[in-house]
Amino acid sequence: MREYPLKGVTVIDLGQVYQGPYAGFLLAKAGADVIKVEPPGGEPLRAREAVSGRALLPMAMLNQHKRAITLNLKTEKGKHLLIELAKKGDVLIENYAPGVLDKLGVGADALMSANPRLVYASATGYGLSGPERDSLAMDITVQAASGVMSITGFPDSPPVKAGPAIADFISGTHLYAGIVTALFEREKTGQGRHVEISMQETLYPTFASNLGLMTQDHDGAPPRVGNRHGGLALAPYNVYPAKDGYVSIICIKESHWGNLLKAMGREDLSEDERFSNNAQRVRHIDETDTLVSEWTSAHTRDELFELAREYRVPSAPVRDLVEVTHNEHMHARGMLHWLDHSSLGRIVVPDSPIRFTETPPMGAAENPGLGQHNDEVLRDFLGISEEEINQLAEEGVI
């Protein structure tokens, strides 16, 4: 087995909720030593946990293999300790609102002058510059402002967000990506970087299909299309009702349509002008969808999936999250693991979606408790005496 690729990299992870912590999670799962730094009351996700246990699972998912310490950045000693950590670390992650750490005197300028090799990574809703820099941002407000909602949902319904927290996670992934890019560069130049990610900006490329529609025959903004193709350029391309749920079916190539006709037992339609090619089927999109719906409605989800597989038609069942957490395939691949968690009982936690062949997934680990590694990190990493550590605790610095 080969070593994890980021072995030897030390990360100071001030990340909060999903975006920052997901970057830290990917770093930890790639072999970095990640030290999660929280205020003495816990980061917002942990604080939310006290109100509702519902925040505990995300905490468990995203903080595996990290060590956790507390640090009160509103005290001089707390700031001093953060500077000491940054001097010894390779990477610092933060997703505070723009300017928060600068005001405290521990922003990029201060920490990178203390350690010019530091990769200082900032993630915000709208970026560190520009007229909208200071708008308050969370996943849902960014889904609104970025355009995601305007193109999600059915044409006759109000705009709706993507159910998962995509703004947090796609930006958290870019954050990890930027960090590792800067680490690569540092191997050549010896210099750190201030890497910056805006949630809003990481979503823009995802509108490719929908934006394509705008340049062509459409005036005005792209409509919501339900489950149809974002550019209304393919048919069939939709979610269809089964006896016991829903399935998605799409035809990318003409051969897929031929295969679908066979699966449906409707090869008689292969000569039908209305369906003779994709352009024709798009023109007759309602008829095309009705034809497919009639067939799917007479079968179960499993039957349809089997038929689609047999006839090589791109298709998938619409699965709910109970099915997904139990998905045999992802468990077999080592992406999902069962974990007996001390507070939550038996849960499923993910491994990293970035897979390095020759090095197996790391497996599950319980998230650290608040300040669990205060002693260990302050003593072994920063060389602070037990006595001093006790005093820091008494003074509310940690």
Residue 106 · residue 83 · CB < 8 Å:
yes
Question: Element (H or E) spanning 109, and its range?
Answer: helix 108-114
Residue selected from 20, 78, 178, 368 as contacting its own copies according to rule CB under 8 A = 178
Q: For its own copies, which stretch binds (CB under 8 A), given 230-238, 261-269, 286-294, 376-384?
A: 230-238
The yes or no reply on residue 300 touching its own copies (CB under 8 A) is no
Residue selected from 100, 110, 269, 318 as contacting its own copies according to rule CB under 8 A = 318
3-state secondary structure of 253: coil
What is d(CA 29, CA 63) in angstroms, rounded to the nearest whole number? 10
What is d(CA 379, CA 373) in angstroms, rounded to the nearest whole number? 10
**Among residues 141 and 391, whose Cβ is nearest to its own copies?**
141
Which residues lie across from 349 on neighbouring strands?
337
Binding characters for its own copies, 7-26, by CB under 8 A (x = yes): -----------x---x--xx
What is d(CA 348, CA 345) in angstroms, rounded to the nearest whole number? 10
Q: For its own copies, which stretch binds (CB under 8 A), given 69-77, 78-86, 198-206, 289-297?
A: 198-206
Binding characters for its own copies, 328-347, by CB under 8 A (x = yes): xxx-xx-xx-------x--x
| Structural tokens at position 359 | 């090095």
The yes or no reply on residue 362 touching its own copies (CB under 8 A) is no
The yes or no reply on residue 286 touching its own copies (CB under 8 A) is no
Selecting among 174, 229, 337, 373, the annotated active-site residue is 229
| Structural tokens at position 303 | 């039957």
Question: Element (H or E) spanning 250, and its range?
Answer: strand 245-250
Q: How far is the CB of 313 from its own copies (least distance, A)?
A: 7
Residue 91 · residue 6 · CB < 8 Å:
no
The yes or no reply on residue 181 touching its own copies (CB under 8 A) is yes
Residue selected from 42, 147, 368, 371 as contacting its own copies according to rule CB under 8 A = 147
**Among residues 78 and 230, whose Cβ is nearest to its own copies?**
230
Residue 22 · residue 120 · CB < 8 Å:
no
The yes or no reply on residue 355 touching its own copies (CB under 8 A) is yes
The yes or no reply on residue 250 touching its own copies (CB under 8 A) is yes
| Structural tokens at position 92 | 């610092």
The yes or no reply on residue 211 touching its own copies (CB under 8 A) is yes
Handedness of CA 225, 229, 234, 240 (dihedral sign): negative
The yes or no reply on residue 386 touching its own copies (CB under 8 A) is no
What is d(CA 199, CA 142) in angstroms, rounded to the nearest whole number? 7
What is d(CA 171, CA 390) in angstroms, rounded to the nearest whole number? 38
What is d(CA 167, CA 202) in angstroms, rounded to the nearest whole number? 8
The yes or no reply on residue 275 touching its own copies (CB under 8 A) is no
Q: How many C-beta neighbours within 10 Å does residue 272 have?
A: 14
- Rounded to the nearest 5°, which phi and psi values hold at 95? -130, 45
For this structure, is 174 an active site residue?
A: no
Q: For its own copies, which stretch binds (CB under 8 A), given 235-243, 260-268, 283-291, 389-397?
A: 235-243
Q: How far is the CB of 385 from its own copies (least distance, A)?
A: 34
Q: For its own copies, which stretch binds (CB under 8 A), given 70-78, 171-179, 367-375, 378-386?
A: 171-179
Q: What is the distance in angstroms between the CA of the first residue and the CA of the last residue of the chain?
A: 38
Q: For its own copies, which stretch binds (CB under 8 A), given 58-66, 79-87, 261-269, 284-292?
A: 58-66
**Among residues 78 and 317, whose Cβ is nearest to its own copies?**
317
Q: How far is the CB of 278 from its own copies (least distance, A)?
A: 6
The yes or no reply on residue 57 touching its own copies (CB under 8 A) is yes
Q: Among all residues, which ones are annotated catalytic?
A: 229
